[in-house]
Structure 1
Amino acid sequence: MSTRYLDALFNPNSICILGASERPQNLGGMVLRNLLASHYPGKLIVINSREYEQVHEIQCVAKVSKLDFIPDLAIVCTPPETVPGLIKQLAKEGVRTAIILTGGLSRTHSKSGRPLMYSVKEIARKFGIRILGPNTIGLMVPSRNINATYAHMNVLPGKIAFIGQSGTIASTVIDWAFARGVGFSHFLTLGDGIDIDPDDLIDYLAQDRNTKAILLHFETISNPGRFISSVRAASRGKIVIGVKSGRVPESQWEPVDLPDGIVNGDDIYDAVLRRAGVLRVQGLDEMFDALETLTRMKPIKQDHLVVLCNGFGPGVLAVDRLSSLGGELTELSEKSLTAFEDMLPAYWNHRNPIDLDYNAGPKRYEDALEILEKDFTVSNVLVMYAPSLTEDSLQIADSIIRKTRRSRLNVFTCWLGQSTIREAREAFFEAGIPTFSSPEKAIQAFMHQVNHNRSQKLLRETPSSYTDHTVDRSHARKIVAKAVQKGFKTLANEKARQIVSDYGIPVVKSWYCSDVEEVVRVFKSLGKPVNVTLLHDRGSYPFLEEKTGRGRYKATLKRLNDEQAIIASCSLLFSQYQEHFPESAFLGYAVHESHQHIGGLGFSLGITRDPVFGPIVVCGAAGASVNVMADRHLSLPPLNMVLARDLLRQTHMYKLLKEYSYQPEQDIRAVCETLITMSQMVIDIPEIKGLEILPLLFNRDGVVAVDMSVEIAAPVRLAIQPYPEELREWTTLRSGRKVELRPIRGEDEPAHVRFHSKLSPESIRFRFFHYRKSFSHDELAQMVQIDYDREMVFVAVVSDDSASKDETLGVVRTWTDADNLQAEFAVIIRDDMKGEGLGRLLMDKMVEYCRSRGTVEMIGSVLPENEPMLKLARKLGFTVEFNHEEEVMDLRLPLNKTSDEWQKAKLGIA
């Protein structure tokens, strides 16, 4: 969808309410009373077929056709069967947006037997009217004095946007937020969400300067690609916190089948939100705790914590919770420990958490914070207080407030108890210091800050350099293409092994035998213990052992070292196969040498496919422990080294690998490279529906894949756009030098640093409108880490063979809005490359790219004295006008015709 007409939804100059009356329980009447109570400044009119002259002193007409003006927003509160006809009338009259508060459209059917909701959806698409709902609580925008809801109270104004799913939950949030003094910039629920989606709203709110944080409550994600793209864009500048309901089949309206290899569907949402940069919480109370921490606490620079308390017991509770959530305590410096020894009794605990003793008063708390202030290993401090007969909680709170007012430390508090510490909590609240009622809540809130910080680093992290294995992609693609042509649903074991090998993943050499006699001959020729696997048609599907149960059926017998054992084992395998899979065709046996590996360390890696989210990379322990230990973690392709490490780090097997591997760093990298390679396989060969390597083992030489299976089906799109290899090309400069023009990669940060170091101050000023001596890691990471959807960057590079690295010569960048109407460009060329025609080559490539993806126009701003760029722009066909307000030259280049009037209005085209 898009942000089309959302201005009319959030900033309407006029509103009509359909179905309002003065009856106390009338839905439309409640909405009208709320609009009047919020002092809505625009025009109001009511439509009611009972032909009232006025409703609550607001003009009323009987029909849509009787309106004497076209409202920006219509609010529909009439019975379900009337809604489709009314929406059609409103759209024909030119109304651009409508909120349908009426419920039951999904359960009320038309004469054809179809739910009315779908009729409304078709009308909206046909006539272009935007719909919020049906079954929504409505919309509040306090800054515009809009309360177009049936809620029992208004919200406070603030900087937070709430996008909910359920009206009843939204009512609870309103009540709860008011009590905590939490205000909102926008507040609404989606209801059935037949038209306006969360991603439409996120795109709109991401551009709103009054919105600092976005809270999401949702049940499903219908368009994961656009959702991820919109949230990734928003989360770079705003806090995005999400809570999902319907996490288990029992709570879902319509439980969905899980993809093969996944036992918990909620793990998919974890992976999606993690990749999008959303801080996920498990409930509404936790959501607001996280919000309070993220908005009130200073941004953290370190992930560890100091706990300060007037007793050891509360500190222990805090540390227990910190450890369970994966947090860490700060190690105090020797200087700090010495200072505490001088201040505290001899029997103090001499470590973090710091016990200030039961009689700690305001001065002791202040002195403790003074010591921590001077210790630059300390960044975050939880100050706790348990009620005491000897001290006043409010006096201690006041001392903390005074001490932290100008402190560099991130201080948050936990005043335990209830009746005697209320005033202290209120003092912290008024001072803007986060305060919590229990150690568990305080630590949970701190870890929200830590996890949010980690997710933002993950979005901006520069991947370490990764060199592909020597791969034969064309051969692998031919294998799959031939199987698709023949109508196969799986690949034979030998073919599956071949495509894994084609991608450079080490595999155990196997011999394929049609009967037992041939198995014996292979064993004799090898003269070593062997493993024997029975192959059958059903066994060619990935993740089969998880469905059948490892104890009930074994496809492989290991370490067979004599002829009789092999014959007996083959007989056992065959009888078990006949018992469990009598309908599955027998395909023979696979034999390979028994593999010497680190005991107990076997990974299960794979690709599975979700009907909504598309391909998913899975990683965890091999065998029964997948289900017993729940050690299967997920990520969305494409992966790079940073994302692969993040996925691997979540598994139990990662800890075992670090502990027991002969060479942990080398093996960790090998697993990550295997995950990246599998991710690339599903990008190169989208017909791969499922792929499993079971197990991936380790020896002194590294990793080796023992067995694998591949399922194939029609291609589907990835939720996250991969690196666009097809946009790479070579070209020749005027001097005859060959350069490559390609999309930027995350690995280009070092080259970007060198590139900027070779720019003159004037070139930097022309590009950034002011001189920049250097750029931070975060700034550079944002330049090179893009999603290839809203943003595109082409770089001109040559290879420096002597240093084995790419050298950047020029860069062109565009940022495209959510509606794909405008792409704002910026281009910069290295000073020693001017006169080579490189700027023209880069701009031509970007113009063609934007035109091909349907962007309406390209725009840019140039300093008036930047004559070379203005000259190039005119040659490319840009119009050039001086902007008196900004004192820059505005450039515009039409690329495609507008397809709708709303596009012309948004672009200011007559």
Structure 2
Amino acid sequence: MQFEPLFNPKSVAVIGASDRKESVGYAVMNNMIKGGYKGHLYPVGRKPELFGMKCYAKIGQIEEKVDLAVIAIPAKFVPGVCIECGEAGVKGLIIITAGFAEAGEEGKKMCIEIQATCQKYNMRMIGPNCLGIINPRDGVNASFASVMPEAGGVAFISQSGALCTAILDWAANQHVGFSYFVSIGSSIDTDYADLFEFFAKDPKVTSILMYIESIKDAKKFVLRAREFAADKPIILLKAGKSSEGAAAAMSHTGSLAGNDAVYDAVFDRCGCIRVDSICDLWDCAHVLATQNIPQNNRLCIITNAGGPGVISTDRLVSVHGHLAKLSESTMTELNGFLSPFWSHSNPVDVLGDATASTYQKTLDVVIKDPQIDGVVVVLTPQAMTDPVAVAKSLVEHGPYQKPVLASWMGQSEVEAGVKILEQGKIPNFETPERAVTAFGYIMRHPDIAAKLKEIPKYLDVQVDYEGAKKLIADVVADGRTTFTEYEGKMMFSKYGIPIKGMAKASTEDEAVAEAMKIGTPVVMKILSPDIMHKTDVGGVKVKLTTEEEIRKAYRDIMTSVKEKKPEARIHGVLLEKMVGFKYECIIGCKKDPLFGPVIVFGMGGVTVELYKDTNIALPPIGLQEADRLIDGTKISKLLRGYRGMPACDVEGLKKILVQFSKMIMDFPEISEVDINPLAVSYEEFLVLDAKIVLDKNMIGKEVPKYSHLVIQP
């Protein structure tokens, strides 16, 4: 396998090896020796001997073909050394050296040279600008991190080398083990997707934790992440949520950072669980390294104080967990040995005088309850409770089939008990909220895995593809990339998205005549490919009933538009019959530069930017995905019937979203689309405004079908 020489090398050469203790070359050599590496280790440097071994001036002088070369020399020499490695038959490279993609045009040029060399000689490479890699199980510490972690099941991947060293230091203290530890740096060759594929085939890897700043190959990332997350969890921290943070990430990695809301949608669709902080990432690592994954979201909380139980419950609700209902048999057993004054519900308050035996009996009872998926055990230091004795009991009776998390609250009084828990592979958290939050992240995986394995339900929609194609061709032939509202609505009608009778008029008389045909009252709107927001230029008049009102509205619109947008091309006005409706929604699409088209749904109308009640999904959208897209908004509660109000036709709305998705899938030349608002009443829908903008870079191009999508249908 192409990555075996990188992670399980039979021979390693350290290029830039040194006896200067402050150098990276020294650190890598020293770490390989201290880590207990059993393969052949070759220093390549300036001296005849290093670390009691023969030192080679060039890698080509080594008698055997080397699996892995770790390069720690100045950047300007790296491209040439990579060629030497290729000629010597090296199979894998780790380039620790910095000063490439993040260092300007000269650095980018060297990256291109290195990539070409790797392709020519069929070498896989990690880096540059990275910490290196660690494989604890096989004693490989090809990095300049001084800590060799314990062996475990969690694979850790990070773009930040500094974060790696901090995680390693913490892991050593908390007895958290890793299967692989990878700092990918600028990732000009090996990226996240490659590692997903390699780790998916390794039974030693039970989960992946990641810190990422950017993604380069979106399609490959999504494909490989979906494959891995269908069986094992991926937990990640994505930096650059703010525009300032995104700019910092770009300067750090030399990559496009992307829109953070779109990243959320991408992670959701490919099964990655996104955490909010480094603290959350550490906590998830702690749980995944020591506990089984919960099968659902039902948590039981055992505590010797009421307050922490209430606080834990609040946090559980905020992370969409469920406070488990104790079964009748569990209640009967607990009543048999707990004080009559225990809480008689979950959280299970065993009271302040609870002994180690009380805690253990309670845990043994609740953990076998089929309605409970995990347990958080909270202990506050009280005179009658021995933190050490309780910790010893929990460890001695473990391991448990379901996840057991602890929160020994306090500092000096619980310190000895905390050490026992950590050594016994029961993760302890300083506060119960952190324990519950970690459970909240991990509990999502079974649902995610099921979602990734489901068969999408698409509609057999009758569409007029040729008619839609002609509409686009007509707009392009007119020298435009922007549709008028009339053209946009005609485009939607080709895909079964509901519109009603409408008419165009280019004079006052035509406006009156068409309005009378449609039937009053009518709405009149300016028709121009250059005006996206009609109300901003006085381009909309509503509730027009009489001939006089229609004539006046026409004149007022034309006067206002010519004053506020004199350069706009005017195609007349659009007339439609006024309709009543209950809610306003938005359905839209925008082409993200990294992930391609993304679909937006939510509360619409002129206040869409104010309330920001929207959700994002990637096409293709089936009925299940449409359901989740709707449910991710606050307006979904109104649409489904809120506090006795009748529900709208949500099934019909889901079908519209699927049809909209089909249109986006069929036409890669579409850059932006807005249906805002989509009028929603209890039984019908109607497009009230339509905007379509074409991607000028795609017009006239022949591309493979669906190649503009990161998820292939």
When normalised by structure 2's length, the TM-score is: 0.89
Please state how far the C-alpha of 1:280 moved relative to its aligned partner.
Answer: 1.4
**What is the SS of the residue equivalent to 1:238?**
coil
Structure 1, unmatched stretches of 5+, are 257-262, 724-910
Q: 1:177 to 1:374 in 2, by over 3 A?
A: closer
Please state how far the C-alpha of 1:347 moved relative to its aligned partner.
Answer: 7.4
Q: 1:222 to 1:307 in 2, by over 3 A?
A: same
**What is the SS of the residue equivalent to 1:221?**
coil
Q: Which amino acid aligns with 2:86?
A: A
329-338 or 666-675, which deviates more: 329-338
Which one of 549, 554, 568 corresponds to residue 584 of structure 1? 568
Tell me whether 1:694 sits opposite 2:691 in the alignment. Answer: no
Q: 1:14 to 1:412 in 2, by over 3 A?
A: closer
8 Å CA contact 2:175, 2:423 repeated in 1:
no
1:304 corresponds to: 298
Q: 1:429 to 1:255 in 2, by over 3 A?
A: closer
**What is the SS of the residue equivalent to 2:20?**
coil
1:473 corresponds to: 465
1:757 corresponds to: none
- Counterparts of 2:189 and 2:8 in 1: how far apart (Å)? 19
Tell me whether 1:209 sits opposite 2:206 in the alignment. Answer: no
Tell me whether 1:185 sits opposite 2:169 in the alignment. Answer: no
Q: 1:693-719: per-residue Cα shift (whole Å, max 9, x none)?
A: 111122232322222222222167244
2:69 corresponds to: 74
**What is the SS of the residue equivalent to 1:437?**
coil
8 Å CA contact 1:109, 1:116 repeated in 2:
no
Tell me whether 1:325 sits opposite 2:316 in the alignment. Answer: no
Q: 1:272-324: per-residue Cα shift (whole Å, max 9, x none)?
A: 11111112112332113123334544443432333332332212211222222
8 Å CA contact 1:304, 1:379 repeated in 2:
yes
- Counterparts of 1:142 and 1:340 in 2: how far apart (Å)? 44
- Counterparts of 2:610 and 2:33 in 1: how far apart (Å)? 58
Q: 1:211 to 1:616 in 2, by over 3 A?
A: same
Q: 1:105 to 1:35 in 2, by over 3 A?
A: same
- Counterparts of 1:664 and 1:473 in 2: how far apart (Å)? 36
Q: 1:176 to 1:657 in 2, by over 3 A?
A: same
Q: Which amino acid aligns with 2:659?
A: T
Please state how far the C-alpha of 1:253 moved relative to its aligned partner.
Answer: 4.1
Q: Which amino acid aligns with 1:626?
A: V
1:439 corresponds to: 432
Q: Which amino acid aligns with 2:464?
A: D
**What is the SS of the residue equivalent to 1:163?**
strand
Q: 1:380-412: per-residue Cα shift (whole Å, max 9, x none)?
A: 433322222232233444555677766x76543
Structure 1 residues 644-663: aligned runs within 5 Å: 644-660=626-642
Please state how far the C-alpha of 1:433 moved relative to its aligned partner.
Answer: 3.5
1:539 corresponds to: 531
8 Å CA contact 2:177, 2:289 repeated in 1:
no
- Counterparts of 1:9 and 1:444 in 2: how far apart (Å)? 35
- Counterparts of 1:131 and 1:564 in 2: how far apart (Å)? 75
- Counterparts of 2:39 and 2:238 in 1: how far apart (Å)? 36
Q: 1:500-526: per-residue Cα shift (whole Å, max 9, x none)?
A: 112112123222122344333333444
Structure 1 residues 213-292: aligned runs within 5 Å: 213-253=207-247, 265-292=259-286
Which one of 147, 154, 160 corresponds to residue 153 of structure 1? 147
444-453 or 352-361, which deviates more: 352-361
Q: Which amino acid aligns with 2:436?
A: I
- Counterparts of 1:344 and 1:553 in 2: how far apart (Å)? 73
Q: 1:324-369: per-residue Cα shift (whole Å, max 9, x none)?
A: 2233323456776688788777877665434443334445545655
- Counterparts of 1:306 and 1:564 in 2: how far apart (Å)? 71
Q: 1:249-284: per-residue Cα shift (whole Å, max 9, x none)?
A: 21234788xxxxxx9921111111111111211233
**What is the SS of the residue equivalent to 1:587?**
coil
1:94 corresponds to: 89
- Counterparts of 1:554 and 1:633 in 2: how far apart (Å)? 30
Tell me whether 1:500 sits opposite 2:484 in the alignment. Answer: no
Which one of 25, 29, 42 corresponds to residue 45 of structure 1? 42
Q: Which amino acid aligns with 1:679?
A: S
- Counterparts of 1:420 and 1:12 in 2: how far apart (Å)? 47
8 Å CA contact 2:295, 2:443 repeated in 1:
no
How many residue pairs are counted as aligned between the two chains? Answer: 699
2:253 corresponds to: none
- Counterparts of 2:41 and 2:249 in 1: how far apart (Å)? 43
Q: Which amino acid aligns with 1:417?
A: G
Q: 1:339 to 1:593 in 2, by over 3 A?
A: farther
Please state how far the C-alpha of 1:117 moved relative to its aligned partner.
Answer: 2.5
Please state how far the C-alpha of 1:459 moved relative to its aligned partner.
Answer: 0.9
- Counterparts of 1:298 and 1:169 in 2: how far apart (Å)? 26
- Counterparts of 1:443 and 1:625 in 2: how far apart (Å)? 36
275-284 or 609-618, which deviates more: 275-284
Tell me whether 1:528 sits opposite 2:510 in the alignment. Answer: no
Which one of 6, 10, 25 corresponds to residue 7 of structure 2? 10
2:620 corresponds to: 638
1:747 corresponds to: none
Please state how far the C-alpha of 1:656 moved relative to its aligned partner.
Answer: 2.3
1:61 corresponds to: 56
1:676 corresponds to: 658
- Counterparts of 1:539 and 1:610 in 2: how far apart (Å)? 23
- Counterparts of 2:652 and 2:138 in 1: how far apart (Å)? 56
- Counterparts of 2:643 and 2:549 in 1: how far apart (Å)? 32
1:845 corresponds to: none
2:254 corresponds to: none
Which one of 583, 589, 594 corresponds to residue 578 of structure 2? 594
8 Å CA contact 1:625, 1:631 repeated in 2:
no
115-124 or 672-681, which deviates more: 115-124
**What is the SS of the residue equivalent to 1:722?**
coil
Please state how far the C-alpha of 1:575 moved relative to its aligned partner.
Answer: 4.8
1:417 corresponds to: 410
- Counterparts of 2:474 and 2:643 in 1: how far apart (Å)? 40
Q: Which amino acid aligns with 1:455?
A: I
2:687 corresponds to: 705
Please state how far the C-alpha of 1:679 moved relative to its aligned partner.
Answer: 1.3
Percent identical: 29
- Counterparts of 1:672 and 1:523 in 2: how far apart (Å)? 32
1:756 corresponds to: none
When normalised by structure 1's length, the TM-score is: 0.71
Q: 1:435 to 1:690 in 2, by over 3 A?
A: same
8 Å CA contact 1:634, 1:647 repeated in 2:
yes
Tell me whether 1:488 sits opposite 2:488 in the alignment. Answer: no
Instruction: Report which structure shows greater RCO (CA 8 Å, sep ≥6).
Output: 2
